[in-house]
Amino acid sequence: MTTTFKDLVFKKDSLGTGIQGKIFFPNGFGASVVRSYGSYGYEQNLYEMAILKGNADEWIITYSTTITNDVLGYLTENDVTKDLAEVEALKSEGGTMSKRLPTNRGIKWRLILCVLAFVVLLIAAGYPNEI
């Protein structure tokens, strides 16, 4: 049986500006479907979908599938159903995904990149003038 939009259970998103529904499949992939301020399609009352890798306990957004290398935006309920079927049909990479996918994996690198960008901006602005 194919998963549809109606199978998603939406809850208030973590920012409190919209809704989010997540679903995971036996192949080790899942989807996060949101409609919240800043998401692609929010102003048109449409949805945005990110493809997830992992399970309900530990997951990350993946940008390397045959479906997309980004999030999918401006989706109708029918579009979400179609895309969920594609996620459900993705080939599993085998093994237990959760043991390899800590949820904070990308956060450390994002923090490092933000700090580096800040330092570069400071240097470009000539701060500090005296070393």
- Report residue 104 as tokens: 């904070």
Residue 16, in any domain of the structure: yes
The predicted structure's pLDDT at residue 101 = 40
The predicted structure's pLDDT at residue 108 = 59
The predicted structure's pLDDT at residue 126 = 80
**Domain count along the chain:** 1
- CB-based contacts of 46, cutoff 8 Å, min separation 6: 35, 40, 73, 74, 75, 76
Residue 130, in any domain of the structure: no
Judged against a pLDDT cut of 70, whether residue 109 lies above it is answered with: no
Residue 31, in any domain of the structure: yes
Domain that holds residue 14: 5-102
- Section 88-108 average pLDDT: 55
Residue 92, in any domain of the structure: yes
Percent of the chain clearing pLDDT 90 (strictly above) = 63
- Section 58-70 average pLDDT: 93
